[in-house]
Amino acid sequence: AAGVIQSPRHLIKEKRETATLKCYPIPRHDTVYWYQQGPGQDPQFLISFYEKMQSDKGSIPDRFSAQQFSDYHSELNMSSLELGDSALYFCASSPGRNTQYFGPGTRLTVL
Amino acid sequence: GESVGLHLPTLSVQEGDNSIINCAYSNSASDYFIWYKQESGKGPQFIIDIRSNMDKRQGQRVTVLLNKTVKHLSLQIAATQPGDSAVYFCAENMGQGAQKLVFGQGTRLTINP
């Protein structure tokens, strides 16, 4: 079965640089979620989109922005990167308000 | 604020034994709970879910119990296998529209041969 696709899988950036993470949801899933997971931490909800509109917002820094496109894929844009932004970033998708299925994650390292 | 937490950070069981992972939640208005399994370097994998109008739900080798009176959730894994070794998270839906999951701390389950 098709799963959530995230790219890139690994990303290394310098402080103050920008990064863009991409997420391709499971086909026919119209809702996308972004989570951040620090080392040894639980995933923290950042933001979600339903039918290309922002649905809910969590602990997402102002330096980050995201959007969902007409083909339902989503991008998380991160600017002025800080060392503390180093983490695993997961995207999840669901059909409406139903079970979320997670992607493999993008490991971001900020040097 | 409202949060979901786990009683035990680590759990070690013998292969073939049953295991129980516990979770306490504080938002009495939550209507949906999910258990996820996360292996090292991978994304959380859905195991089983339960809605607040139920107190028990069974899957393949897994059972989730919900006690709304004491706001407690548990995951029972029967006849554990080495592949069950992972970190297990409970999550609570806090969203009004789309889901907004709040994850608990996570319990590391280790299956000993």
Express each pLDDT in B45-66 by its tens digit.
999 999 999 999 999 999 999 9
**What is the identity of the amino acid at B12?**
S
* Cα distance between residue B53 and residue A36, in whole Å: 30
Q: Give A27: exposed, middle or buried? Use CB within 10 Å, 0-12, 13-18, 19+.
A: exposed
Strands A31-37 and B62-67: unpaired
Tell me the two tokens of residue A59: 């602990």
B1 in contact with chain A, both atoms CB, cutoff 8 A: no
Query: How many CA atoms, within 13 angstroms, populate the side-chain half-sphere of residue B15?
Result: 5
Contact assignment for A100 to B46 by CB distance below 8 Å: yes
Among A42, A56, A94, the residue with its CB nearest the CB of B89 is A42
* Cα distance between residue A73 and residue A91, in whole Å: 10
Name the minimum distance, in Å, from the CA of B31 to any CA of chain A: 12
Q: For A11-48, what is each residue's pLDDT tens digit?
A: 999 999 999 999 999 999 999 999 999 988 899 999 99
Q: Which residue has the higher pLDDT, A55 or B61?
A: B61
Among B36, B43, B100, the residue with its CB nearest the CB of A103 is B43
User: Tell me, what's the pLDDT at A40?
Assistant: 83
Tell me the two tokens of residue A87: 């983490």
Closest to A18 (Cα-Cα) out of A68, A70, A76: A76
Which residue carries 């996308």 as its tokens? A32
Q: For B80-108, what is each residue's pLDDT tens digit?
A: 999 999 999 999 987 665 578 889 889 99
Q: For A67-94, what is each residue's pLDDT tens digit?
A: 999 999 999 999 999 999 999 999 999 9
